[in-house]
Structure 1
Amino acid sequence: MREASYRLRRWLAGRMLPDSLQGRLTLVMVSGVLLTQLAGNVIWTAQRRAEAREEVKTAAQHLAHSASSAVRFFLSLPPNYRPLIIQQFREMGGTRFLVNINRAPVPVRPLKGRELADAALGQLLATLQEDLPGTPGLRVAFAWPERLRVDDGGVTLADLPESWTRHIMLARPAPVLLIQAELEPGHWLYLATLMPNPYFLETDNPLARDRLLLQALSLAAVLLVSILVVRWITRPLAALSDAATAFGKGENPPALPETGSREFVTTARAFEDMRKRIGRYMDDRERLFVSISHDLRTPIMRLKLRAELLDDDDLRGEFHDDLDELDMMVKGALQTVKDSDIHENATEIRLDALLGRMVRDAQLAGHEVSFAASGLTVTARPLALKRAIGNLLNNALQYGARVELAVGEDGGNIEIVVRDHGPGVPETALAGLGQPYVRLEHGRSRNGAGMGLGLSIARGIVQAHGGQLLLANAAGGGFRATIALPGAVFNPQ
């Protein structure tokens, strides 16, 4: 169970995380910015809503005190004077409240589901009950001005003169506060007004469109700067990777610039030092093997001449066999170094032309070889690649009656397949193939002069190109050697 969970996490990480360092750094920075913005918005929204709630309660309390004063004023008037006072208010241009006297409370369609409205109404009702303890009926509600009734006869707010409603009717509709108080039986005071902040309900949603747009623009700017910074940081690493890849393929890339961060400059200097040391090592290795070739051939030749002086023919033959084997081993070691260390520049190779010539040469020698054109090209060192393919083809011709060559493309890589119809290789021996001087029993019987270096040389050349040499038994019998090289390019011709 634990192993399955670990594999699942590995799979999810591989699917969700980008492959490149630039992609991963960008993802981390973008995620950090988004999480910071989200956390900041959550905290700010909570604080803003708490502040808006307190502001609305304070405004409602002050408004309730004003309404209480108006109710007490009308309670102090005789009932027959109240309409006259209301008319005077209207002729004077109105007051903060739109006032009316009705025989019964006017039905209102209140706002529902608004947290700030409910908080304001609660505070209003509590303050009114505190200021007017003897008032039997108090009703408070918020309603939209459209079709809002002002009396029990059906007159709406829109039917009143503009001079009466100029303190309530705004260009953009705002919720109207209605306070209805029973003065005496059959006399209800109707008060309509606006909150000090008429559009207070909008503060219930701090994430308004304009704020979201501003945050989106700021987030886009931060992300753009983050991506540019990540690219600026990772660009030297990409140059280092390209230089390492080119050096691994035997090319001679230009020296890395010692500019940028201190860490990159240190890494570039270390890479240049490593490249120089490896270059010196390769030169020393080549000189060493040339010296070995020169130094060993002379004593081997002297031993062969001295062996001719032996009287015993059998002993002389054994000496010659041992010296021939020693000479072959020296030549094989030198061949391994020279074949896997070919100094040439990489170029674009038309595989149809290269393999076609090799197939024709094999057919002229009497071998049965088939090949189908593919129209593919690859960037490689021509002589080295030809030598690697030639070693595989020679092995296939040596051990198989019929050979097939094929070229294909798989996942952006090019595959050159050499398949023979010979006896194949025991499964237990596949792991050791490609090692120097490793030869199987049927190889010794068919090719006694071989040294077991062909596959080793081919593998070294392929790996120097950044590819792989895959060896396996073919389905249906025979052996299959596949050269997988990166960077295949399709040739439309």
Structure 2
Amino acid sequence: MRSFWPQSLLARLSLVMVAGLLLTQVAGSVLWTMQLRDKTEADVQSAAQYLGQGAASSIRFFRSLPPSYRSLLIQQFREMGGTRFYVALNRGEVALQQIAPQPLAQTALGALEATLRNDLAGESRLRLAFAWPEQLAVSPDGIRVGDLPEAWVRHILLLKPDPAPILVIQTELEPGNWLYLATLMPNPYFLNSNDPLSRDKLVVQGVSLAVLLLLSFLMVRSITRPLAALSDAAEAFGKDDHAPALPASGSREIVSTARAFGAMRERIAKYIKDRERLFISISHDLRTPITRLKLRAELLDDDALREEFEEDLDELDMMVKGALQCVKDSDIHENPTEVKLDPLIRRMVRSAQLAGHNVAYADSGVAVRAKPLALKRAIGNLLDNALYYGERAEISVRALPAWIEIAVRDHGPGVPEEAIASLLEPYVRLSHGRAHNDAGLGLGLGIANGIVEGHGGQLLLANHPDGGLNAVIRLPA
């Protein structure tokens, strides 16, 4: 499941909001459907009982009439525009093509039959059914309701434009005489009343869900946009870019965070400037007494003591210069630009070859967005280390989907595995390094690492399988 979980805050909040809304809609629809089903069943039973009482009265009325008067009375009803029922007399039972079985229809028929049998004591020959108008026969010889004059049924049945199921009640008045009653339920479209998937309900739910999702997405986006701006500002500040101040807009918490970040950025910038001034001042202030001590050391008569003083003063002078160089080299103020690596590395390789070193490089055609001088300094430090501590060096560049890798490999003895982690710390030098380069201070790798991290990349150190140390600069592609 973790692989399907989105990484961005906007996607996560949107997914949670969508899932929450969908689950709420589903749960609400289920509860609403259960309540609607119970209410609809109660309404249908009540309507069927009311309709059954009216049908029982009509059956008792026609049963009380002499057979010769029944047809005349039915004709008068039709000329007057009909009654609650469409009434017909037939010689036998009419075969009906019923609607597909549905729970609500069975509930209505059950309540209707119970009411009729209760009101018509001893009635045994009852035929109850629902049928669609286009399939409804009204006589045993196959005459359908659509074949009847419109005036007979237009106030009783719904035939068009949206037909409703018709309830048909047939009962035998006496042998050979069947009374045929056809009517509509009080709610003609009762079969659709408890359908949660009906078109109108789906449209309403779909529109409401879409509006809620849109508003939720806009709200989540308004919340995450300042956070994205804060992340961009933090990344730009980490790369020494001059990012504009964050806008103080959004919720109270976002505004407070933006102001706190701005104040933090100002304090860090002030601290960095103070650090630069401090190191420059210390370097300047220390050089004068160091120079004065060197002059005084020249006046010593004891040659051995004078040499010891001069060595200590030279070491102190080199440490001061190294500290100042570490501050300056790790804080190069440039604007990032598109850097073609082949010309940049070729110039460093050519300079090393002119100095008599063996350096190999093959063009890659790769470009990277970086600060040119800072990147050159980082690669140069790695190349200098490789040439100091190895017989020869190789530089290679390759493009990966997410990274650009610049590898500098030497052919020296390599580094003990337990010491690799400490190489990036300042003033750390191994015995092999001190033997090959007495003038070094152990700052080159630390400076290169600071520059690479300022670009949002990584400096990886590892022993090469074929021998020597392999230093890899990984920059975002």
What is aligned with 2:445?
455
**More moved, 372-381 vs 422-431:** 372-381
User: What is the Cα deviation at residue 92 of structure 1?
Assistant: 4.5
User: What is the Cα deviation at residue 480 of structure 1?
Assistant: 1.5
What is aligned with 1:4?
none
User: What is the Cα deviation at residue 431 of structure 1?
Assistant: 1.4
Q: Distance in 2 between matches of 1:119 and 1:385?
A: 83
Q: Distance in 2 between matches of 1:331 and 1:261?
A: 49
Q: Distance in 2 between matches of 1:260 and 1:153?
A: 79
What is aligned with 1:41?
29
Residue 222 of structure 2 contacts residue 250 of structure 2 at CA under 8 Å; is this kept in 1? Answer: no
What is aligned with 1:32?
20
User: What is the Cα deviation at residue 313 of structure 1?
Assistant: 4.0
Q: Distance in 2 between matches of 1:294 and 1:169?
A: 105
User: What is the Cα deviation at residue 268 of structure 1?
Assistant: 2.5
What secondary structure, in the 3-state scheme, does the structure 2 residue paired with 1:472 have? Answer: strand
- Which runs of 5 or more residues in structure 2 are unaligned? none
Q: Which residue identity is paired with 1:23?
A: A
What is aligned with 2:130?
142
- Equivalences for residues 254-265 of structure 1 within 5 A: 254-265=244-255
Residue 135 of structure 1 contacts residue 183 of structure 1 at CA under 8 Å; is this kept in 2? Answer: no
Q: Distance in 2 between matches of 1:228 and 1:147?
A: 53
Check 1:426–1:152 CA distance in 2 against 1; reply closer, same or farther (3 A cut).
same
- Equivalences for residues 16-415 of structure 1 within 5 A: 16-166=4-154, 167-168=156-157, 170-171=159-160, 172-415=162-405
What is aligned with 1:9?
none
What secondary structure, in the 3-state scheme, does the structure 2 residue paired with 1:27 have? Answer: helix
What secondary structure, in the 3-state scheme, does the structure 1 residue paired with 2:229 have? Answer: helix
Q: Which residue identity is paired with 1:61?
A: Q
User: What is the Cα deviation at residue 434 of structure 1?
Assistant: 0.9
Residue 45 of structure 1 contacts residue 207 of structure 1 at CA under 8 Å; is this kept in 2? Answer: no
What is aligned with 1:436?
426
What secondary structure, in the 3-state scheme, does the structure 2 residue paired with 1:366 have? Answer: coil
Q: Distance in 1 between matches of 2:346 and 2:85?
A: 101
User: What is the Cα deviation at residue 312 of structure 1?
Assistant: 4.6
Residue 97 of structure 2 contacts residue 135 of structure 2 at CA under 8 Å; is this kept in 1? Answer: no
Q: 1:475 aligns with which of 454, 465, 469?
A: 465
User: What is the Cα deviation at residue 127 of structure 1?
Assistant: 0.8
What is aligned with 2:413?
423
Q: Distance in 2 between matches of 1:312 and 1:256?
A: 65
What secondary structure, in the 3-state scheme, does the structure 2 residue paired with 1:146 have? Answer: helix
What secondary structure, in the 3-state scheme, does the structure 1 residue paired with 2:135 have? Answer: coil
Q: Distance in 1 between matches of 2:34 and 2:186?
A: 23
Q: Distance in 2 between matches of 1:333 and 1:226?
A: 54
Check 1:359–1:78 CA distance in 2 against 1; reply closer, same or farther (3 A cut).
same
User: What is the Cα deviation at residue 419 of structure 1?
Assistant: 2.1
Q: Which residue identity is paired with 2:381?
A: N
Cα-to-partner distance string for 1:347-379 (whole Å, 9 max, x where unaligned) = 222222211211222222233323233333323
Q: Which residue identity is paired with 2:336?
A: A
Q: Distance in 2 between matches of 1:443 and 1:289?
A: 27
Check 1:268–1:158 CA distance in 2 against 1; reply closer, same or farther (3 A cut).
closer
Q: Which residue identity is paired with 1:115?
A: P
What secondary structure, in the 3-state scheme, does the structure 2 residue paired with 1:452 have? Answer: coil
Check 1:252–1:147 CA distance in 2 against 1; reply closer, same or farther (3 A cut).
closer
Q: Distance in 2 between matches of 1:457 and 1:414?
A: 20
Q: Distance in 2 between matches of 1:216 and 1:75?
A: 54
User: What is the Cα deviation at residue 310 of structure 1?
Assistant: 4.6
Q: Which residue identity is paired with 2:43?
A: E
Q: Distance in 1 between matches of 2:92 and 2:203?
A: 49
Q: Distance in 1 between matches of 2:426 and 2:210?
A: 59
Q: Distance in 2 between matches of 1:277 and 1:86?
A: 101
Q: Which residue identity is paired with 2:157?
A: I
What secondary structure, in the 3-state scheme, does the structure 1 residue paired with 2:134 have? Answer: coil
Check 1:249–1:140 CA distance in 2 against 1; reply closer, same or farther (3 A cut).
same
Q: Distance in 2 between matches of 1:103 and 1:258?
A: 89
What is aligned with 1:7?
none
What secondary structure, in the 3-state scheme, does the structure 2 residue paired with 1:109 have? Answer: coil
What secondary structure, in the 3-state scheme, does the structure 1 residue paired with 2:193 have? Answer: helix
**More moved, 432-441 vs 324-333:** 324-333
User: What is the Cα deviation at residue 88 of structure 1?
Assistant: 4.2
Q: Which residue identity is paired with 1:95?
A: T
Q: Distance in 1 between matches of 2:152 and 2:281?
A: 116
What secondary structure, in the 3-state scheme, does the structure 1 residue paired with 2:475 have? Answer: strand
Q: Which residue identity is paired with 1:138?
A: L
Q: Which residue identity is paired with 1:20?
A: S
User: What is the Cα deviation at residue 123 of structure 1?
Assistant: 1.1
Cα-to-partner distance string for 1:370-409 (whole Å, 9 max, x where unaligned) = 3233333323222111101100111122223332222233
Check 1:90–1:288 CA distance in 2 against 1; reply closer, same or farther (3 A cut).
closer
What secondary structure, in the 3-state scheme, does the structure 2 residue paired with 1:258 have? Answer: coil
User: What is the Cα deviation at residue 72 of structure 1?
Assistant: 0.5
What is aligned with 1:6?
none
Cα-to-partner distance string for 1:121-167 (whole Å, 9 max, x where unaligned) = 11101111111112122221112233333333444334444444433
User: What is the Cα deviation at residue 68 of structure 1?
Assistant: 0.3
Check 1:136–1:223 CA distance in 2 against 1; reply closer, same or farther (3 A cut).
closer
User: What is the Cα deviation at residue 456 of structure 1?
Assistant: 0.6
Q: Which residue identity is paired with 1:382?
A: P
Q: Distance in 1 between matches of 2:334 and 2:75?
A: 108
What secondary structure, in the 3-state scheme, does the structure 1 residue paired with 2:93 have? Answer: coil
What secondary structure, in the 3-state scheme, does the structure 1 residue paired with 2:133 have? Answer: coil
Cα-to-partner distance string for 1:197-229 (whole Å, 9 max, x where unaligned) = 222212131432133223322332332233223
Residue 133 of structure 2 contacts residue 159 of structure 2 at CA under 8 Å; is this kept in 1? Answer: no
What secondary structure, in the 3-state scheme, does the structure 2 residue paired with 1:470 have? Answer: strand
Q: Distance in 1 between matches of 2:380 and 2:24?
A: 61
Q: Distance in 2 between matches of 1:283 and 1:425?
A: 36
Q: Distance in 2 between matches of 1:454 and 1:268?
A: 36
Q: Which residue identity is paired with 2:159?
A: L
Residue 378 of structure 2 contacts residue 451 of structure 2 at CA under 8 Å; is this kept in 1? Answer: yes
What secondary structure, in the 3-state scheme, does the structure 2 residue paired with 1:204 have? Answer: coil
- Which runs of 5 or more residues in structure 1 are unaligned? 1-11, 489-493
Q: Which residue identity is paired with 1:464?
A: G
Q: Distance in 2 between matches of 1:233 and 1:153?
A: 74
Q: Which residue identity is paired with 1:18?
A: P
